[in-house]
Amino acid sequence: MNPFPIAWASLRRNRFTAILFIAIVALTVALGIAISAQERALRLGSARAADKFDLIVAAPGSHNDVLFSTVYLDPSAVPLLDPAITRLLLEDDQADFVAPIGFGDAIGDAPVVGTTAAFVEHLSGGLAEGRVFTALDEAVVGALSPHAVGDHLEVSHGHGGATGTDADAAADAIAAGAAVPGGDGDHPTITITGRMQPTGTPWDRAVVVPIEYNWSAHGLGTGHRPGDSHIGPPFDPDSLPGLPAVVVKPVDVSAAYGLRGAYRTPQSTAFFPAEVLVELYALLGDATAIMSALTLAAQALVVAAILAGIVAILDLQRRQFAVLRALGASRGFVFATVWVYVAALIVTGAIAGLLLGWGVAAIVSELLANQTGVAMRAEIGSSEFRLVGALVALGLVLASLPAVLIYRRPVVDGLR
């Protein structure tokens, strides 16, 4: 039995309808694939971005706000951590290093973030170029920053609400919604001394300065005794200002859980980025599940609508099938011909949709990565293949409906 040439002839006879059907199936499948692949890219990208931020300690409040400010450099006004807690952390032998994080300035669109040289090394895994900062007016840039090593840059105060060095500055910046020139302190020109390796985080676009620059620019001292011009730890316990967040690298896993427990106090909170992300993903996952269900329902409807169209088209060809029966074709042969015809439309559409969906997700990921700085790559994984597989399986089963309808027709009706 060879139903293929006749199915192929039917496809060619109605080639424009066939192309239209394939396009509709492809677009519907692409929608489902794009949502699924994009959601995973977002999840993996954001999780990878938070990898190097082992434990974050901040003032009690929203973990989400602190996480977004610190990891994704998406500024929001967060309460400041009591310097007494920072002091305790700096003395804690469970911590490998303790990196204060400070915001509030910008160079053009790029945020200026203050921290320690140790955290820069940890985040970047060694610099790609140059050396890390060793003086207050030196800085390193992220891998994607347009600035070159050796550039001298002017820093402006404020970053569309990015702040945290003090509550007033936060209020200022949020009210202004843009850069507030000057601020409370002095913003010396900085010199770029190095470039970090790509981190897949928004830090790739940032200019990273010593935390002392951040503090002194906002009139908060340097964290050291007057006259002490060295950069980084040890800090003077009595000169520390409040901080939006501190990143702590624990010495080992048990230390991580120990520190997380110890700094959950009325004055502070401590959390692993992963635990916050898991909650966000659960929300994202719920939304994705709903969207997936909707797209699956849309796909089923599209397949049903197409089957109805196919029945109409095949009805126009009922004479051909009657002739085949008169020539001796079994009902099985007619069934096989129609089934191959419908299956070809659905399988071609599904494969085209898989590729199209992957393309759309890749473009969206690229746009989103450009917008957020979080590196993401849309990939087609087993869940996308399962989605397409489910639709194809459904289509192949449903394809037998028109096939049965056609072969049940009395032959003589088609011949008259």
**Interface residue list for another protein (CB under 8 A):** 1-3, 5-6, 8-9, 12-13, 319-320, 323-331, 333, 411-412, 415-416
For another protein, the closer CB: 327 or 397: 327
How many CA atoms are closer than 13 Å to the CA of 27, on its beta-carbon side?
6
Query: C-beta of 348: minimal distance to another protein in Å?
Result: 18
Tell me how far apart the alpha carbons of residues 330 and 119 are, in angstroms, rounded to a whole number: 76
Query: C-beta of 333: minimal distance to another protein in Å?
Result: 5
Query: C-beta of 334: minimal distance to another protein in Å?
Result: 10
For another protein, the closer CB: 5 or 266: 5
Any residues with CB less than 8 A from the CB of 196 and at least 6 apart, and which? 120, 123, 124, 127, 128, 140, 141, 142, 143, 203, 204, 208
For another protein, the closer CB: 175 or 415: 415
Query: C-beta of 74: minimal distance to another protein in Å?
Result: 60
Query: C-beta of 351: minimal distance to another protein in Å?
Result: 24
For another protein, the closer CB: 2 or 134: 2
For another protein, the closer CB: 324 or 338: 324
Any residues with CB less than 8 A from the CB of 173 and at least 6 apart, and which? 75, 104, 157, 158, 159, 160, 161, 162, 163, 180
- Within 10 A of 358 (CB to CB), how many other CB atoms are there? 18
- The partner residues of 138 in beta bridges, in order of sequence, read 191
For another protein, the closer CB: 264 or 319: 319
What angle is formed at CA 101 by the lines to CA 96 and CA 105, rounded to 5 degrees?
Answer: 155
For another protein, the closer CB: 64 or 330: 330
Query: C-beta of 335: minimal distance to another protein in Å?
Result: 12
Q: Which phi-psi region, left, alpha or beta, contains residue 158 (left: φ > 0; alpha: ψ -120 to 50)?
A: left
- Within 10 A of 257 (CB to CB), how many other CB atoms are there? 14
How many CA atoms are closer than 13 Å to the CA of 108, on its beta-carbon side?
8
Query: C-beta of 319: minimal distance to another protein in Å?
Result: 7
Tell me how far apart the alpha carbons of residues 351 and 358 are, in angstroms, rounded to a whole number: 11
**Among the listed residues 32, 68, 46, the one whose alpha carbon sits nearest the alpha carbon of residue 288:** 32
